[in-house]
Structure 1
């Protein structure tokens, strides 16, 4: 089968590789769609911290946002899974440690991360091996485009849930990328007033088209009382700004990761009685994202600007936008195109 492989910083190729064979407790999925995200771009550039921490090494097969159809099953897996449309968890815990047994497999010290950590191959390929325990079945109402948006949606949903918004609360999202816009959509569906802060007018105009109540550059952001702030950016200065902007007694949620250390003055947290929450992984939010997509209360599909084949992934990771693509931030890949 064909798989996209990053062989070193800014070096890549599409390889012919042996198709996966499902081991005990595993299935093989024929990948229908896979998303390209910021983590993939960091591996492509060589800046991803896992490379220096020896959690990952080249060559690496990327892709952790995906959906597809189960084509074969391994020992101990029911044949009924064959033909089922699925997506799945990125975080594969060891299943034995205290964290895994407590339902926190996504922070297991010995976890694999599909397409990211520990050498588990990713979904920028025609087929993908996955433990059956990581699978989530997709209803017919969730098509392939939405199915490959479940993983970023689970992250965004967790961020909104951590913000603990009441109806009519006012939320500020920092960063109009995929996670920030999905968080805005989930928050709008809950009845919140949603504002977004970003850098470029085209991205802010796109956010306005999704129904947010305000989309602002930093110099134009009104000094409104924000009941929660979600930092979905990678800017090192915004974590501290989030604490400055949130109302006393309210919540700041951090889901973006800056390329270098970002400082937050804990004295401000204490004196404002602010709760700060960090979010890693979609794992506890996957089922909720599927439910909201299936019900139609949140539609992630407008965020997808284009669908490309494996041969075009390298250019996308290098920062190019496909010809004729839409204004959304997300590029999807059809590995069989």
Structure 2
């Protein structure tokens, strides 16, 4: 089968690889779509932290936002999965440790992360092996484009849930990228007053084109009932703490390439709750339901769908002008190069 493989910083190629064989409790998925995100771009640049800790190494096959059809099933897997369209969890815990047993498998110390950690191959390939326990079945209303947005949607939904707001309350989202915009869509569907904060330029203009008119380039002069930091700016976490109403919540889902510092005195003296969100685990079913219901339609976030052979250009940030400013690029491994 064909697979996109990053062999080193700034180097990649489409290779012929052996197709996966499902082990016990596993399926093999024919990949229909795979999204490219900031983590993938860090593997391309060499900035990904796991490359320094040894949790990942080149060559690496990326791709953890995906959708596809189950084509093979291993021992112990219900044959009813065959032919079903699915998405899936990135985080694959061992299933036996206290964290896994306690429902925190995404924090398992020995976890694999599809396309990211400990060598589990990703979805920028024609076929992908996945444990059946990680699958998220998709209803017929969800096409491959929506299916590949379930994983980032699960992240965004967990962030909105963590903000714990009621309809009519004010939410500030820092960072108008894919996760920030998905969170904004989901928050608006709940009746929240959504504000976005970002740098002047195409990303914020695109957010306005989606109807988010409260889009700012500097912090508004008001306190917010919750703040979600979905940016990669090292100063954004401190800004989030300063912008939230005392006694309320800040949610951190963005990651900076350098340490992001906050003054814990700001948390203590203002009685602020801070929550970190890692992964879509626990949010996949909710994102699927939102998309299927039509309450949230994230398809405008997709700028283009390209073949495996163009993945390197996407990772290098070389976008075609006709794609516009939508943040998400999808890869379809079935397209000819």
Q: TM-score, normalised by structure 2?
A: 0.98
What secondary structure, in the 3-state scheme, does the structure 2 residue paired with 1:284 have? Answer: coil
Measure how far apart 1:222 and its partner are: 2.2
Equivalent residue in structure 2 for 1:335, among 312, 333, 336: 333
Aligned ranges 1:145-224 → 2 under 5 Å: 145-218=145-218, 221-224=219-222
1:153-211 deviation digits (Å, cap 9, x = unpaired): 00000000000011100011000000000000000000000010111332112111222
Aligned to 2:23: 23
Alignment partners' CA distance in 1, 2:246 and 2:122: 42
Aligned to 2:263: 265
1:53-91 deviation digits (Å, cap 9, x = unpaired): 110000000000000000010111111111000000100
Size of the aligned set, in residue pairs, is 335
Measure how far apart 1:213 and its partner are: 4.0
Which consecutive aligned stretches of 4+ in structure 1 deviate over 2 angstroms post-superposition? Answer: none
1:199-248 deviation digits (Å, cap 9, x = unpaired): 13321121112222401112xx3212211110000100110010011111
Asked whether the 8 Å contact 1:195–1:215 carries over to 2, the reply is yes
1:10-34 deviation digits (Å, cap 9, x = unpaired): 1100000011111110000000000
Aligned to 1:241: 239
Alignment partners' CA distance in 1, 2:141 and 2:252: 31
Alignment partners' CA distance in 2, 1:199 and 1:179: 16
- Give the gaps of 5 or more residues in structure 2: none
Asked whether the 8 Å contact 1:178–1:330 carries over to 2, the reply is yes
Asked whether the 8 Å contact 1:99–1:108 carries over to 2, the reply is yes
Q: Is 1:278 paired with 2:276?
A: yes
Computed over aligned residues only, the root mean square deviation of the Cα atoms, in angstroms, reads: 0.8
Alignment partners' CA distance in 1, 2:278 and 2:98: 18
1:127-161 deviation digits (Å, cap 9, x = unpaired): 00000000011001111111000000000000000
What secondary structure, in the 3-state scheme, does the structure 2 residue paired with 1:183 have? Answer: helix
Alignment partners' CA distance in 2, 1:5 and 1:263: 35
Measure how far apart 1:323 and its partner are: 4.8
